Chain A
């Protein structure tokens, strides 16, 4: 391993990428447009149903019967009071009623909570309030959109590019120098990872300035997820590029891999409640773990203790795929 050769190649790859306007546009403009699009499309409330969490039995409750039979209100039995309060805080629930405890919670900044409070006979109940801001769809979808962008950038920016290099003779030219396959692959990985971190950060900050996301967790932890997630995506690209010689075949295979990830990894919608088989399948995709972890950090303020399974999965994917990719790699 010569740091000289590695750094020279890293620099060349960065220049190549940064000067390619179309690739650059694809990496920056697309995610910004998607996020802004969603911010406007789902800016107003998308559901006219009120959601009330109910703790305790509702059956023999003459006292609250009028309220509990109101139409257009969805009553959701809840298990954990703490979780439910967080949901009220994030506007995922409009109200929480603790029947045995004779208490209710609303969010002071929620218009729906205010309406529900007026409907409820509150004479015998104790009022509690929280003041968190609502979680909008755009807050929920941003980790998905950024994750998807990272996936495309890694798969095509590493996988497709190496296959193209092989087809047009760049690899052959490089292989006739003292450069080793390890140095070459490391330069590709590091270059793309640097670009992913830089551009994702840029897009995040830019859209945050425009729209303002909810972020309850640690930025450092989010960065860790970004790096591990990016690495795992790059490793998939590397695996595909190890031997393929046809750009068309590589393109097809990359699409074959990226589409299921886009649909099954929870980019656009939650897989909660989908068929268990689909959920199992989703766990085999690195993007799922990346998005889950990022979402947990941003929306639920999750710490390392909460997302360690995802961190381990992402590390595992990266190590295994890079190892196989490097083992099977051929210049020709």
Chain B
């Protein structure tokens, strides 16, 4: 669907995006992850045709981004104000007029659950309602490719899960999705493939489950920070990952690690054994947490 080759973007000497290449097959949901300043928003905006690349090519269905792309792409921006003093229904009608082919309003209202605030001024929407409206605008031209730039940032857990449901429904329509997010859980839930960026380069890409299996053979043990004596060393082959309020042991083999802890008479009352998540992978690859 989209082919990116040697894409770069310079800002006054700074390389925001540094020669990246990848392809996005039709019908998948691609997650773009990276810490702040990694270049993911710049990358997405170049894919959306909003920013002009310094060099490199972006092909949509084998051709440069043009009128066809504009008609077939739906974009949900991260920070978007809408014209003021007009209602949700009027905004939808306005955007409908911009495209030659559009989805029916009834369908959009149903998919994005806009029914309860259709006649409300756009300024008086809650965060979740606003995101649903922006999603509806992104879908108004029944796009083949949909860009979602941090769609759930700032939403409460309930609204976030509602929006995930709507995104899953769009995925079910066999559309191609490109999603940037700060939430690893979101990427894990929604994305078929992820692409992790840092310092303008791609540092990892693939199917989330496979990426985790590739990097981690085993589990993580978590204990309170004061549970271990000073100078404690885990069993050979495992490693310590000190966190702010807790200690994590990246274990080679769970049974051996636990026996080692018992042998050193360490209390296991607050022991937690878990599988590594994308968050752990991200931390390991980039050296910093996503939300920092």
Tell whether A15 is near chain B: CB-to-CB under 8 Å. Answer: yes
Q: Does B85 contact A178, Cβ atoms closer than 8 Å?
A: no
Tell whether B21 is near chain A: CB-to-CB under 8 Å. Answer: no
Smallest Cβ distance from B210 to chain A, in angstroms?
A: 33
| Closest B residue to A174 using CB positions | B98
Smallest Cβ distance from B50 to chain A, in angstroms?
A: 6
Smallest Cβ distance from A165 to chain B, in angstroms?
A: 8
> How far, in whole Å, are A228 and B152 apart by their CA atoms in the complex?
48
- Contact status of A13 and B83, CB under 8 A, knowing A172-B77, A176-B48, A178-B70: yes
Q: Does B98 contact A178, Cβ atoms closer than 8 Å?
A: yes
Q: CB < 8 Å: which of B77, B80, B85 contacts A19?
A: B85
Tell whether B213 is near chain A: CB-to-CB under 8 Å. Answer: no
Which stretch of B89-97, B104-112, B278-286 is in the interface? B89-97
Q: Which of B67, B73, B84 has the most CB of A within 10 A?
A: B84
> How far, in whole Å, are A310 and B132 apart by their CA atoms in the complex?
52
- Contact status of A177 and B99, CB under 8 A, knowing A8-B94, A170-B80, A172-B80: yes
Could you tell me the dominant secondary structure of chain A's interface residues? Answer: helix
Could you tell me the dominant secondary structure of chain B's interface residues? Answer: loop
Residue tally, chain B, CB below 8 Å to A: 27
Across-interface contacts of A8 in B (CB, < 8 A): 93-94, 97-98
Tell whether B49 is near chain A: CB-to-CB under 8 Å. Answer: yes
Across-interface contacts of A176 in B (CB, < 8 A): 48-50, 70, 73, 75, 77
Across-interface contacts of A169 in B (CB, < 8 A): 77, 79-81
Tell whether A4 is near chain B: CB-to-CB under 8 Å. Answer: yes
Q: Does A12 contact B86, Cβ atoms closer than 8 Å?
A: yes
Across-interface contacts of A15 in B (CB, < 8 A): 85-86, 90
B52-94: contact bitstring with A at CB < 8 Å (1 yes, 0 no)?
A: 0000000000000001001101010101111111100010011
- Contact status of A177 and B98, CB under 8 A, knowing A12-B83, A16-B83: yes
A1-36: contact bitstring with B at CB < 8 Å (1 yes, 0 no)?
A: 000110111011101100110000000000000000
Tell whether A332 is near chain B: CB-to-CB under 8 Å. Answer: yes
> How far, in whole Å, are A173 and B122 apart by their CA atoms in the complex?
15
Smallest Cβ distance from A11 to chain B, in angstroms?
A: 8
Across-interface contacts of B98 in A (CB, < 8 A): 5, 8, 177-179
Residue tally, chain A, CB below 8 Å to B: 25
Q: Does A178 contact B71, Cβ atoms closer than 8 Å?
A: yes
Across-interface contacts of A332 in B (CB, < 8 A): 50-51
Smallest Cβ distance from A27 to chain B, in angstroms?
A: 15
Smallest Cβ distance from B8 to chain A, in angstroms?
A: 19
Across-interface contacts of A20 in B (CB, < 8 A): 84-85
Q: Which of A12, A20, A170 has the most CB of B within 10 A?
A: A12
Q: Which of B3-20 contact A (CB under 8 A)?
A: none
| Closest B residue to A177 using CB positions | B98
Tell whether A175 is near chain B: CB-to-CB under 8 Å. Answer: yes
Q: Does B82 contact A173, Cβ atoms closer than 8 Å?
A: yes
> How far, in whole Å, are A15 and B84 apart by their CA atoms in the complex?
9
Smallest Cβ distance from B256 to chain A, in angstroms?
A: 54
Smallest Cβ distance from A2 to chain B, in angstroms?
A: 8
Smallest Cβ distance from A198 to chain B, in angstroms?
A: 17
Tell whether B137 is near chain A: CB-to-CB under 8 Å. Answer: yes
Across-interface contacts of B75 in A (CB, < 8 A): 173, 176
Q: CB < 8 Å: which of B50, B85, B95 contacts A172?
A: B50
Q: Does B97 contact A4, Cβ atoms closer than 8 Å?
A: yes
> How far, in whole Å, are A176 and B70 apart by their CA atoms in the complex?
7
> How far, in whole Å, are A173 and B147 apart by their CA atoms in the complex?
12
Smallest Cβ distance from A183 to chain B, in angstroms?
A: 9
Across-interface contacts of B81 in A (CB, < 8 A): 165, 168-170
Pull 13 A–B residue pairs with CB atoms less than 8 Å apart, ordered by A: A5-B98, A7-B97, A12-B90, A12-B94, A20-B85, A168-B80, A169-B79, A169-B80, A170-B83, A172-B77, A173-B80, A173-B137, A178-B70
Ordered nearest first, which 10 A-B pairs have the shortest CB separation? A8-B97, A168-B81, A19-B85, A177-B98, A169-B80, A176-B75, A173-B80, A16-B85, A12-B94, A178-B70
